[in-house]
Amino acid sequence: MADHPGSDNVRYLITGSAGFVGFHLAKRLIDNGHFVVGFDGMTEYYDVNLKKRRKAILEQSTSYRHFDGMLEDAFALQEAAVDCKPDVIVHLAGQAGVRYSLEYPETYISSNLVGTFNVLQIAKACQPKHLLIASSSSIYGGNTEMPFAEAHKADWPITLYAATKKSIEEMSHAYAHLWRIPTTCFRFFTVYGPWGRPDMALFKFVSAINKGEPIEVYGEGKMSRDFTYIDDLIESIVRLADAVPGETSPVMAEDVEDSLSPVAPWRVVNIGGGNPVGLMAFIETIEACLGKSAVMTMLPMQKGDVQSTFADPELLQALTGYLPQTTVENGVRSFVEWFSVYNERY
C-alpha cells in the first residue's frame, strides 16, 4: 500500500462519511492534519445529490480517500480498512430516522445490526486504539426520568430504530470485553446545522416556510427537544476520541457517575447540552430568522415519538472539559444562511 499524505498523524476510518455528521467530522479531522478514509453507501434515504456534494468537498483534500459501499458488504468494508490501517474507527453509518422505521423496518436490521456486526469484525481484526460508535437519545424510550443520564435504564425502546441502537451498544460491549477493543458509544440529541438532513424538522420547516407552504407540527406543538448544533457535536466527538476508556481509568470528577464497564474498556456518553427547547419556541426562532410567519397544521403525536428529550451532559464535561454551547438562535441562523446559499447554488 502506498503511503498516504498525513500518514505520520492519526489515521481515521469513518463510516457514513458522506452523511451529515460524517461529513463534518471528516472535514474537521482533515483540517486538523489527519488522514481520513471514508466509507459510505450513498443510499437514497434522502437526496443523494446532497451526499455527493458533501463527498466532493472532502475529495478536494489529498488527505481524504473515499470508498463506496454498503455496511452489509463485509468485503467492501474490509477493503477500506486494509487501505486505511486505522488508528481510530468512527462508526456513524446506519439507517436513521424514527418514523421511517415504521415503514421500512427491514432496513434497520440489515444496516444497523448486520452492518455494525461487520464493523465490529473489522475492529477485531484491526485492533484500533479507539472505536467510537454513534448511538441515539432514542434509546431512552419509555424512560421518564429526566435529564437522561447514561446510568438510567434504557430497556424500553418504543421504536425499532431505538431497539437497533440499543442493540448496537450491547454488541459493541460484548466485543470490547471479548477482544479488548477500547470503545465509546455516544448518544446524539437532535443534531442540526448546515449541510443537515432534509428529513429533519429544521430543514423541512425552513424549506416550507420559504415557499409559503404549511408545516406539520406534531404533538400539538407541546414537545421539546435538546438540540445539539453540529459544531458542538463534532468538537465533542474529537475530544472523546482522545478519552480512550480503560478498565482502570474511571472518571475522577466528584458527583459524576461514570458509565465505564466493570468488565470491558467500554463506556457510553451523552452528547447534548442539557438545554431543551419547546417545539413552538423552535418554530418562532425559525420565523424570526426567515422574517416570515409559518402556516401550521397542528397534528397529534406520531407513533414512536417521545414527548421530550433532555441530556445530562455531566459525563461528557468530565471526560472532555467541554459542553455544547451554541444557542438555538445562533444555530438556526447559521442553518438559514447556509440553506439560502445552497439553494441559490444548486
Per-residue pLDDT of 84-132, as tens digits, reads 999 999 999 999 988 888 899 999 999 999 999 999 999 999 999 999 9
| Residue 161 annotated in active site | yes
Between CA 111 and CA 106 the distance in angstroms is 9
- C-alpha grid cell for residue 89? 474507527
- C-alpha grid cell for residue 67? 470508498
User: Which one of 161, 175, 192, 229 is the catalytic residue?
Assistant: 161
Between CA 91 and CA 259 the distance in angstroms is 20
Q: Which CATH architecture has domain 11-189+229-271+315-320?
A: 3-Layer(aba) Sandwich (3.40)
Residues ≥6 apart with Cβ < 8 Å to 60: none
For the chain, first and last CA: distance in Å? 37
Between CA 210 and CA 199 the distance in angstroms is 16
Between CA 261 and CA 188 the distance in angstroms is 20
Between CA 305 and CA 285 the distance in angstroms is 22
User: Can you give the pTM of this predicted structure?
Assistant: 0.95
Look at strands 277-278 and 224-225 and give their pairing. Answer: antiparallel
Query: Is the link from the previous residue into 147 a cis peptide, with omega within 30 of 0?
Result: yes
Q: Which CATH architecture has domain 201-223+276-311+326-340?
A: Alpha-Beta Complex (3.90)
Q: Where are the CATH 3.90.25.10 domain residues in the chain? A: 201-223+276-311+326-340
Q: Where are the CATH 3.40.50.720 domain residues in the chain? A: 11-189+229-271+315-320
Residue 247: the pLDDT is: 65
Between CA 273 and CA 316 the distance in angstroms is 9
Which stretches of 137-249 are assigned E, i.e. beta strand? 183-188, 191-192, 215-217, 224-225, 228-229
Q: What's the pLDDT band for 346 if we cut at 50, 70, 90?
A: confident
Count the residues in the chain: 346
Question: What is the per-residue pLDDT across 40-83, written as a single tens digit (0 to 9) for each?
Answer: 999 999 999 999 999 999 999 999 999 999 999 999 999 999 99
Residues 96, 101, 103, 109, CA torsion sign: positive
